[in-house]
Amino acid sequence: MIVERDVGVPMRDGVKIYIDVHRPPGRKRVPALIAWSPYGKHRPFQYGYFYKEGGVRKEWYSSYTNFEGPDPLYWVARGYAVIHVDLRGVWGSEGNATYWCHEEGKDGYDLIEWTAAQTWCTGKIGMTGVSYLAIAQWQIAATQPPHLAAINPWEGLSDMYREFAFHGGIPETFFSPVWQKSISYSTNSVEDVTAMMKEHPLFDSYWATKVADFSKINVPALVVASWADQGLHLRGTLEAYKSIASKQKWLMIHGRKKWENFHQPDSVEKQMAFFDRFLKGIDNEVRRWPKVRLEVRDRYYAGKSRNENEWPLARTRYKRLFLDARAGSLRTAPVATRSQVRYDAPGDESRCPAAYREERAQFDYVFPAATELTGHMKLRLWVEAVGADDMDLFVAIQKFDRHGKYVPFAAFSALEDGPVALGWLRASHREPDPKRSTPQQPWLLHKRQLKLRTGVPVPVEIEIWPSGTRFAKGETLRVVVQGSDVYKYARWMVLAGHPKTINAGSHVIHTGGKYDSHLLIPVVPRKG
């Protein structure tokens, strides 16, 4: 394998970014895969402990592998070049760094066209990778580089405001500061995303530049998402898949840890088949792939995968389960009697006394028959904040077996005790976008704050991120609502968290009568 390090590539404005090229020896031309990353092309093991915790086996990647990218040793041996990139403004590359934006897309365009012109390249370029390396593909593919032949975004959010910075309008302050440090190695200026979150708490033109024009993405795409990535990549990956204009696109949804899933041998074989088809023109199994393949989970790392024709599933039947605060239950028929449940929501976790025990509201539904829930859920609540004009609501959907024991699922990239699904909302951000909202998925504008009035309950609709879960007869679905993250972990974990909330006093949930608080669930009947 030939390795060319620190190759300078000029961008259209004269700025040079630096790349490492890994390619086969000899004169035969080969297609190229680009791994677009801010984490340092020259430091393959700086995040090795993440891989260890995330279940990635050492035999699955070589010492040439960069974080969240393809293994050059594997791909070069099979007739590909692999390019590791230090994007504009990070590490040794010139210019100032801005992230997940249209300017980054233009730089990607320039690198693709430069690569296609090299004497060792066939002119066929692909992109692959996880997380940032996937997100960048949306922006770059939207610029329509002539020599970009295929993309493989393996779990990449597509709306930075809604999926990374502000969940339901609540600022993410757990992972974002850690991530900011990891992208700030530079000799120049780098965008301070955490500072911009404070300057731009509402969705405005700044955040709009972070969203790609999906209608312009028309290259073949193999898109992968995980039910486990609640609060980071799941929602945006699925939204992008729905929105891109590619006529040849495939979606795989699993319920596993993302780094493990990307690097495991059967996944790499899928990637190879995909790129062999569109970068080498090989007629292979891809022509027989189902448009959608998804896993329906029973519990942690237990589930069954099947083929589908579309996403979301067209045969889904949505059903309302009405909250009954008096009984702490969910009912299939509207509840006639009004009742309410109250819990304390003290706000910033750092100000809570050591002996404080978190309060919550919870509502249970026992399934009378085996039921599959795959897709979006929506929680409609009538809420009231006592002693405050706003409230942060945190929702978890959980599963319990017939004996009342909690059933865990994979969560994010390394955890094994996660929920079915999560949702969030800052009540003042409850205003929906009437053009984009659907009965099962509220799409919030985040353009202004609608404060609460003392003693006046208001309806709010909370988007629950997608999931795919099977409930057996006698098993329980539980809705948990509280004033802080339902799941909390050590800070080194790559996951969303919201330790600083706007909460004060207590929250009241009203149910029954005119207060039609309910959970909308996506029931999927068997095929045929």
Q: CB-based contacts of 520: which residues, under 8 Å, 6+ apart?
A: 318, 319, 320, 321, 377, 378, 379, 380, 439, 440
Domain end marker among 193, 217, 241: 217
Let me know if 310 is exposed, middle or buried by CB neighbors in 10 A (0-12, 13-18, 19+).
Answer: exposed
337 and 210 in a common domain: no
Look up residue 48 and give its two tokens: 């090795």
Average pLDDT over the chain, rounded to an integer: 95
In-domain check, residue 302? no
User: Is residue 209 in a domain?
Assistant: yes
Does some domain include residue 6? yes
Q: Are 217 and 247 in contact (CB under 8 A)?
A: no
Residue 45 in this model has a pLDDT that exceeds 60: no
Residues 6+ apart with CB under 8 A from 399: 299, 406, 407, 409, 420, 469, 471, 475, 476, 477, 478
Contacts of 19 (CB under 8 A, 6+ apart): 6, 7, 9, 41, 83, 84, 85, 86, 111
pLDDT, position 350: 56
Boundaries of domain holding 44: 2-152+162-217
Same domain assignment for residues 137 and 25: yes
* pLDDT interval class at 53 (50, 70, 90): confident
Mean pLDDT for the stretch of residues 149-153: 99
Mean pLDDT confidence for 342-359: 69
> Which residue has 């959980």 as its token pair?
398
**pLDDT of 50 above 90:** no
In terms of Cα–Cα distance, which of 122, 207, 114 is closest to 158?
A: 207
| pLDDT above 60: residue 351 | no
Q: Are 28 and 119 in contact (CB under 8 A)?
A: no
Q: What is the CATH number of the domain that holds 471?
A: 2.60.120.260
56 within a domain of the structure (yes/no): yes
Q: Is residue 445 part of a domain?
A: yes
Do the Cβ atoms of 475 and 401 come closer than 8 Å? yes
Top pLDDT among 175 and 450 is at 450
Please report whether residue 293 resides in a domain.
Answer: no
In the listed set 217, 232, 253, which residue is the last one of a domain according to the structure? 217
pLDDT at residue 100 greater than cutoff 60: yes
Q: Tell me phi and psi for residue 149, to 5 degrees.
A: -100, -25
In the predicted model, is pLDDT for residue 201 greater than 60? yes
Residue 226 falls inside a structural domain: no
Tell me the per-residue pLDDT of 206-226, one tens digit each, with 9 for 90 and over. 999 999 999 999 999 999 999
Q: Is the pLDDT of residue 402 over 70?
A: yes
Q: Phi/psi at 197 (nearest 5 deg)?
A: -60, -40
Residue 286 in domain: no
Residue 318: pLDDT band (50, 70, 90) is: very high
The reported pLDDT for the residue numbered 354 is 47
pLDDT of residue 349: 64
Contact 495, 412 (CB under 8 A): yes
42: domain CATH number?
A: 3.40.50.1820
| 497 and 388 both lie in a single domain | yes
The tens digit of pLDDT for each residue in 483-507 reads 999 998 876 667 899 999 999 999 9
Alpha helices (H) in 4-54, listed in sequence order:
48-53
**Residue 492 exposed, middle or buried by CB count within 10 Å (0-12, 13-18, 19+):** exposed
Kindly report, residue by residue over 114-142, the tens digit of the pLDDT.
999 999 999 999 999 999 999 999 999 99
Spatial separation of the C-alpha atoms in residues 151 and 210, rounded to whole Å: 19
457-468 tens-digit pLDDT: 999 999 999 999
Widest CA span in the chain: 79
* Count of structural domains, the chain: 2
Name 151's bridge partners.
Answer: 127, 221
Work out the average pLDDT over 301-310: 97
Lowest-pLDDT choice from 13-27, 253-267, 410-424, 485-499: 485-499
**Same domain flag for 331 and 462:** yes
Q: What does the pLDDT look like over 175-191, one tens digit per residue? A: 999 899 989 999 999 99
Backbone angles phi and psi of 330, in degrees to 5? -115, 135
